[in-house]
Structure 1
Amino acid sequence: MIINRLNTVAGIQIPDSTIATQATELLLEHGTEFIYNHSLRVFLFSSLNAQRRNLAHDSELLYVASVFHDLGLVPHYSSPDLRFEVDGANAARDFLKGHGIAPDKLQLVWDTIALHTTIGIAEHKENEVALMYSGVGLDVMGEGYEHLSAGHREEIVKAFPRDNFKQKIIPTFFGGFEHKTETTFGNIKADVCAYMIPNFHRKNFCDCILHSPWSE
């Protein structure tokens, strides 16, 4: 794995505390170069959005959340029956518990990771949750691209390359939950299953209502 370890990118300082360093080591051990670069870009985009919007936040916790946010896609952290977002959130919480982090901060990091794909809710939560959501949205779908200067964009992508991101990210997502496609019910990852599986049959909320055991 070829990685860059830089102190500052696009004017954003990358946390290098013991907690941040150990979190990075777990990402390097269990993740991939592709997920590593995506995770670091997410942190930087989230941090730049915090600057632009003048949002106070805990940079170390945001970094740890960024590092863990897609680790639920990799075999080491993937459960047989939970959403990958929850797997990543659980892993981050367990990691931070080992460092004696306060319960309220554990919950904040858990929410930040668990809700990072939850459209319409995450952006109305605590700053760290909203910032993570914005950083993921920018890297994956280009949301807020117009607010990112060309200089910052080039510096971040040079440090943490996208590496054919558009072609790789959908199969990467799918690889993390193809063994538990039922966990995509009611969330945007069902679109990934529909893209990757010919004739994929989505579980339908209205069908659940109409075929419930109630008589009326």
Structure 2
Amino acid sequence: MIPSTTASAAALELASAYQSPSLQSHSHRVFIWAAAYAREHDIAYDAELLFVAAMLHDIGLVPEFDNHTLSFEEAAGHIARVFATGAGWPAARRDRLAEVIVRHMWPEVDATTDPEGHLISRAAALDIAGKNPDDFTPAFRAEVLAKHPRLNLVEEFLTCFKSQATRKPTSSAARAINSNLDSRMLTNPLDAN
């Protein structure tokens, strides 16, 4: 299911080198949820762009890339742009990658104007906050979770977001914490599988 491109392999390698097992597993699930949702709803998307965005969308949370002023998704967008430059992507494609990553924290992203942003946003909302779990059958959810378990994602993610919120009170992480992200994560139906 992973696109067989050099950039996809490199994104996986980069994410594996810096992300914890919980964040790495989350990134894989985000790609799987996004691609499966696209298939079910006939949303055309760029598989390589989607995969690279899924692998790098939370890279701004890891200590090595945690920017002291930018929100984690903006920092991740910049990291992804640098990554894509090294991968030889043209400027417009690098910009799209960064855009998709930044938009994953938007409440809604229009599928007709930004399919990859829509898919990553929707998949991350499912995986983190349990939004729209009925997009997939219980059997499919169980299969994905068996292959890519949640591990200690809730504890780790909330720790990262609370730290971001304290240090960057106007960030998307702060808005999420202030809108009861912790209770949504603690009651995520994915953890009931």
TM > 0.5:
yes
- 1:103-122 aligned within 5 A: 103-120=91-108, 122=109
Larger Rg: 1
**Residue ranges of structure 2 left out of the alignment (5+ in a row):** 182-193
Structure 2 residue 9 is matched with structure 1 residue 21: yes
Hey, what's the Cα distance between the residues in 1 that align with 2:19 and 2:154?
19
Hey, what's the Cα distance between the residues in 2 that align with 1:82 and 1:164?
26
Deviations 1:42-67 (A, max 9, x none): 00000011011101111111000011
- 1:35-114 aligned within 5 A: 35-114=23-102
Match of 1:173 among 158, 161, 171: 161
- Identify the residue that residue 177 of structure 2 maps to in structure 1: 192
Preserved contact between residue 81 and residue 183 of structure 1 (Cα < 8 Å): no
Preserved contact between residue 108 and residue 129 of structure 1 (Cα < 8 Å): no
- Identify the residue that residue 132 of structure 2 maps to in structure 1: 144
Pairwise CA RMSD of aligned residues? 2.1
Hey, what's the Cα distance between the residues in 1 that align with 2:127 and 2:179?
22
Offset, 1:105? 1.5
Aligned partner of residue 87 in structure 2, secondary structure: coil
Preserved contact between residue 123 and residue 133 of structure 1 (Cα < 8 Å): no
**Residue ranges of structure 1 left out of the alignment (5+ in a row):** 1-12, 197-216
Identity of aligned residues (%): 26
Hey, what's the Cα distance between the residues in 2 that align with 1:144 and 1:70?
21
Hey, what's the Cα distance between the residues in 1 that align with 2:94 and 2:128?
26
Preserved contact between residue 123 and residue 134 of structure 1 (Cα < 8 Å): no
Aligned length: 180
Preserved contact between residue 72 and residue 78 of structure 1 (Cα < 8 Å): yes
Hey, what's the Cα distance between the residues in 2 that align with 1:141 and 1:86?
20
Provide TM-score, normalisation by structure 1: 0.76
Hey, what's the Cα distance between the residues in 2 that align with 1:139 and 1:61?
19
Hey, what's the Cα distance between the residues in 2 that align with 1:119 and 1:37?
23
Which shows bigger deviation, 141-150 or 162-171? 162-171
Hey, what's the Cα distance between the residues in 1 that align with 2:159 and 2:167?
15
Runs of 4 or more, structure 1, over 4 Å off, are 193-196
- Identify the residue that residue 22 of structure 2 maps to in structure 1: 34
Hey, what's the Cα distance between the residues in 1 that align with 2:154 and 2:51?
23
Offset, 1:25? 1.1
Q: In proportion to residue count, which structure has more helix? A: 2
Letter in 2 for 1:29: A
Preserved contact between residue 30 and residue 120 of structure 2 (Cα < 8 Å): yes
Match of 1:123 among 95, 101, 110: 110
Letter in 2 for 1:54: D
